[in-house]
Amino acid sequence: MDSRKLIANNKKARHDYFLEELYEAGVSLHGTEVKSLRMGKCSIKEAFVRIENGEVIVYGMHISPYEKGNIFNKDPLRPKKLLLHKKEILKLQQKIAEKGYTLVPVEVYLKGSLVKVQIALAKGKKLYDKRQDIAKKDLRRASEREFKVKNLN
What integer pLDDT is reported at residue 2 of this predicted model? Answer: 56
Q: What are the CA-CA distances from residue 141 to residues 59, 131, 136, 144 (Å)?
A: 35, 15, 9, 5
Query: Which of 17-21, 68-72, 117-121 ranks highest by mean pLDDT?
Result: 117-121
> What's the count of helices (H) and strands (E) in the chain, helices before strands?
4, 9
Q: Which residues of 68-80 are buried (b: 16+ CB within 10 A; e: fewer)?
A: eeeeebbeeeeeb
Is the pTM higher than 0.85? no
For the cut 70, the answer to whether the pLDDT of residue 78 exceeds it is yes
Range 98-121 average pLDDT = 84
What integer pLDDT is reported at residue 143 of this predicted model? Answer: 81
Contacts of 112 (CB under 8 A, 6+ apart): 2, 3
- Per residue in 3-57, pLDDT (tens digit) is 788 887 888 878 778 888 888 888 888 777 788 888 878 888 888 888 888 888 8
For the cut 80, the answer to whether the pLDDT of residue 151 exceeds it is no
User: What is the distance between the alpha carbons of residues 141 and 143, in angstroms, rounded to a whole number?
Assistant: 6
Q: How confident is the model at residue 69 (pLDDT cuts 50, 70, 90)?
A: low
